[in-house]
Amino acid sequence: MSLDDLHLNLRNLTPEDYPQLKTLMDRVYHDIGGAWPKRTIERLISEFPDGQIAIEDDQTLVGVALTARVDYEEFSNPHRYDDLMDQREIILNAPEGDAMYGLDVLIDPAYRGYRLGRRLYEARKDLCKSLNMRAILAGGRIPNYHQYANEMSPAEYLDQVSRKEIHDPILSFQLANDFQVKRLLRKYLPEDEKSQGYATLLEWNNILFEPAESVLDTRKTQVRVGAVQWQMREFSSVEAVLQQAEYFIDALSDYQSDFAVFPELFNAPLMGLQDRAAQQDQIAAIRFLAGFTEHFKTELSRMAVSYNINIIAGSMIEEHDDGHLYNISYLFHRDGDIEAQAKLHITPQERRDWIIEGGDDLRVFDTDAGRIGILICYDVEFPELSRLLADQDMDILFVPFWTDTKNGYLRVRHCSQARAIENECYVVLCGSVGNVPSIENMEIQYAQSSVFSPSDFAFPHDAVLAETTPNTEMIMFSDLDLTRLTVVRNEGSVTNLKDRRQDLFDLRWRDWSWKSGSRQDDA
């Protein structure tokens, strides 16, 4: 048959199709009883019309997929084919079932080789997603097993089929269509002599399945991020800095942004409130800056609540009771909660001139718009940190930064883009611009704020969702689809997180809680 002669149409099965369906089933299933009775098919179509899918060629039925709704907990455990029907051969369709059960997929022998079975399987998967069902289950025959029954056990046969050392027309096809073997079923279909009565319990998980829950508790899947490419400038007072920050937060809120992001040490110009001579003592100047942090925390938390937006306040200097200084990014939730992430890796300049200490805790934060991580500038150049966050199901990584030269900026940019690809997450990069020769310690800045995505078909060709004009004060928006992350992590062209060879290597976070006295050792 020539491809030019095909006129294929995918549609739902109707009761009027039964004569053609019977002919097709008798031809394909001649060894296990042939076609279902007409009443069985009519009842199945009546109870679950969307699940009965047909392919026709010029009004001739050439492929069919029959499907029932079932309860996942019941049919994801051992069962027999007879458990699916009553004594009158009526399929026990569960109207409120949370899973689909693949009863039959059959292709006219004359049409094999055109991948029509794959087309039917994809239609089933699309239906499963659209109905928000948990999974597709199926009892899969292993019709070539009888050829090997004297040589190996069914389990050994399954292993060799999965390793492609043996081809089984049904199991090999199902494995190629992303179904996983959950268990071996005994006496599934006793009359199936070719399979010796055995079958596999197969499952395809709907990675987009969302359990029923309150609308208010439903996690957002569409997230809008707003970033402020902040210009460093002289300020006459603390209030002037906060007024400028509130101006941007108000603008981002007007566009219904879920996050407002600021750069690292965005309030550093406050060191300029000291006279020039006092600024020469760099350690004293940074302690002077730390003195404003509590006031900023109070005001930014107020803004987060008032403007209904989560604020990632770049970073600010915090002085602890022991006199140690830390560079800390604060997350101000719009419900009033405040959380913090310290910079862990301190640059030589920070350590030498300001005596900044590195933190010892790394967290993923739950927000009403996804699970997020924060790595401050230099931290993003250490890939272990973002991988630890990815292992905790991080969706968005925020990187507030401060770089003075373009080569410094490019280190942060290229590392951030690598983190998005290798961890299959979004990365939001936010920096500061402007030259301030009148203030010691912060003469020049270079930045181009950006939003990076994984690199696959669902995302822009260069994996850049948004970016600002370099060295210009402005705000940037980007809409992030968290559902696309779920898809790329499970069904992408490559699946970096899934394919790690954890049999060869692993990564762990050491417990440093003893430093704060929070760890409870065994007595």
- The pLDDT of residue 3 is 55
5 with 31: CB under 8 angstroms?
Answer: no
Alpha helices in 12-79 (DSSP H): 18-28, 38-47, 72-75
Contacts of 388 (CB under 8 A, 6+ apart): 362, 507, 509
Going residue by residue through the chain, which has 523 residues, state the pLDDT in tens, using 9 for 90 and above: 555 577 889 999 999 999 999 999 999 888 777 888 999 999 999 999 999 999 999 889 999 999 999 999 999 999 998 888 877 778 988 998 999 999 989 999 988 888 899 999 999 999 999 999 999 999 999 999 999 999 999 999 999 999 999 999 999 999 998 899 999 999 998 888 999 999 999 999 998 888 876 444 556 789 999 999 999 999 999 999 999 999 999 999 999 999 999 999 999 999 988 877 777 788 888 999 999 999 999 999 999 999 999 999 999 999 999 999 999 999 999 999 999 999 999 999 899 989 999 999 999 999 999 999 999 999 999 999 999 999 999 999 999 999 999 999 999 999 999 999 999 999 999 999 998 887 776 778 999 999 999 999 999 999 999 999 999 999 999 999 999 998 899 888 999 988 998 889 989 888 766 555 545 444 3
Residue 128 a catalytic site member: no
Q: Is 343 a catalytic residue?
A: yes
Cα(326)–Cα(359) distance, integer angstroms: 7
In a 13 Å sphere around the CA of 464, the CA atoms on its Cβ side amount to: 11
Dump the DSSP string for 452-519.
Answer: E--SSTTS-TTSEEEEPPTT--EEEEEEEEHHHHHHHHHHSSS-TTTT--TTT--------GGGTT--
Task: Give me the pLDDT at residue 219, please.
Answer: 67
Catalytic residue check, 47: no
Measured distance CA(36)–CA(284) in Å, rounded = 86
Give me 217's structure tokens. Answer: 């508790």
Q: How many angstroms separate the CA atoms of 265 and 269, rounded?
A: 9
Write down the catalytic residue from 203, 264, 318, 473: 264
The one catalytic residue among 128, 377, 415, 430: 377
CA distance 264 to 491: 36
Q: By the 8 A CB rule, do 346 and 359 touch?
A: no
Residue of 343, 350, 424, 473 with catalytic role = 343
Q: Which of 175, 37, 56, 174 is nearest to 107 (CA)?
A: 56
For 76-217, where are the E strands, in sequence order? Answer: 99-107, 135-141, 180-185, 199-205
Instruction: Quote the DSSP letter at residue 85.
Output: B
What is this structure's pTM?
0.79
Cβ 398 vs Cβ 349: under 8 Å: no
In the structure encoding, which two tokens stand for residue 172, read together? 């090999």
Going by C-alpha positions, the residue among 187, 177, 184 that lies closest to residue 200 is 184
CB-based contact 119:72 (threshold 8 Å)? no
Give all domains of the chain, ordered by start, each with its CATH number. 8-205 (3.40.630.30), 222-491 (3.60.110.10)
DSSP 292-338: THHHHHHHHHHHHHHTT-EEE---EEEE-TTS-EEEEEEEE-TTS-E
Tell me the two tokens of residue 139.
């009892």
